Amino acid sequence: MIAGALFGVAFNALRANKLRSGLTFIGIVFGVTSVMTIISALEGMQDQLEEVFASMGPSTFMVGKMMTVMSDEEFFEKVKRKPIMLEDAELVEESWTLCEKVSPRLFRRSNLKYGNQTLRRVDVMGGTANFIDIVDFEVAQGRFHSAEEDLHKSHVVLIGDMIREEFFEGLDPIGKTIKVDGRKFRVTGVARKRGSMFGESQDDFIVIPLSTYVSHYGQSRRGGVYLTIKAVSVDKLDEAMDQTRMILRAKRKVPYDKPDDFDLMTADAILDMLNQFTMMFRLVLVGISSISLVVGGIVVMNIMMVSVTERTREIGIRKSIGAKQKHVLLQFLFESVMVTLSGGIIGIILGFIAARTLVAMIDMAIDPSAVAITAGLVISVGIGLIFGIYPAMRAARLDPVKALSYE
């Protein structure tokens, strides 16, 4: 009953001052919208990154000359390292006891041609047949190349979905022949469409057998080979990484008192590093967008102060007929929270729409986040409580006799 009465009184008071309530409402809407846009966009980007790295699986790790770089100094230090070569991968494969599978990979950019159509600077990966068994790499049509094809340096290729759209729209690409840097390759499969990330297509690639890649292009002396290794189990992951580290350090003659001259990382480690790197960026963005919320809160407090002044006689009448301090306090707090919460709900909806539009510009998609929605509701209610408490306390402490005589 009390809650219903408070709601009715608060609603009538807000309706009686439409312009004042509307201005407060708009201020909160803009503030929550800006915060929600930032939070939702960052959450969407984070989810996309996690989805990409999750394809590796929990028992998989990567080894390379230079996996991550967090500063210019680190880059110039790592670029001097010796590349990891295929013989290093073979030694790891021969010496392991805790690694189930290892897949060396090489990368470059090449020009593709089919009929009169040409695609330039397409990502080419040379990989072993077991790569598809190590990572969650899905084939939508056809198949990945086999171990026999890798052994015999076959000219077969798996293409990304963008290549299929450009060359074979409306056609069955399986069995067709394309040219990679002038050499003929038979299409055996099409990878599942992965979409775009940060405006860059993830489907602009082809995969050929590693032996075929090496026979045509050799090994890169700049970047070297990248290894994707699957441990025998999740529990043995750390031990498998240590074993791989010892094998490579011995092969590359790294002194015992020197750090590794290669990077060895899991997907979780890469994500943690990215999160640390972007944490300050996120805090700055949310902090800047929160300024509008502070301004909206100040507007709420000023308008509630004006409301208390205008309704002094009303407060006096309520107190004279038995209303207690807590009732008056709750009444004005309820009015403040009603405005900020309704503005917050609209701000959450507009913020999500704005974030979705923003993220769509870089070809990504986001879904409503429980974290973002909860944050929006908590922020809007918090503003109503924090900035409405002083006017409400002032109203509750008014002397009924003085309030009744107020003109």
Please write the tens of the pLDDT for every residue from 112-122. 998 888 888 88
Q: Residue 235 in 3-state DSSP?
A: coil
Place of tokens 């807000």: 14
Name the token pair of 255: 């002194």
What mean pLDDT is predicted for residues 361-375? 65
Q: Say how many residues make up the chain.
A: 407
Angle between helices 370-396 and 325-360 (to 10 degrees): 150
Instruction: Evaluate whether 376 touches 347 at the Cβ level (below 8 Å).
Output: yes
Task: Report the 10 Å Cβ neighbour count for 16.
Answer: 12
pLDDT score at 363: 58
| Residue 14 pLDDT class (50, 70, 90 cuts) | low
pLDDT reported for residue 360: 63
Res 185: pLDDT: 93
Enter the tokens of residue 253: 């003659």
DSSP state, residue 224 = -
| Residue 172 vs residue 47, higher pLDDT | 172
Residue where the block lists tokens 């915060």: 35
pLDDT in tens, 321-354: 777 777 777 777 777 777 777 777 887 787 777 7
What are the φ/ψ torsions at residue 248 (nearest 5 degrees)? -70, -40
Mean pLDDT computed over 358-379: 67
Q: Which two tokens stand for residue 211?
A: 């032996």
Mean pLDDT (whole number) for 172-187: 91
Q: Are 379 and 337 in contact (CB under 8 A)?
A: no
Q: What is the pLDDT of residue 212?
A: 92
pLDDT higher for 188 or 301?
A: 188
Name the more confident of 23 and 143: 143
pLDDT at 407: 56
Reported as a single tens digit per residue, the pLDDT across 199-254 is 567 788 889 999 999 888 887 766 778 888 888 787 888 888 888 888 888 888 88
Q: Indicate the pLDDT class of residue 72, thresholds 50, 70 and 90.
A: confident
Burial string for 388-398 (b: 16+ CB within 10 Å, else e) reads: bbebbebbbeb
Cα separation, 382 vs 370, whole angstroms = 18
d(CA 214, CA 104): 12
pTM: 0.62
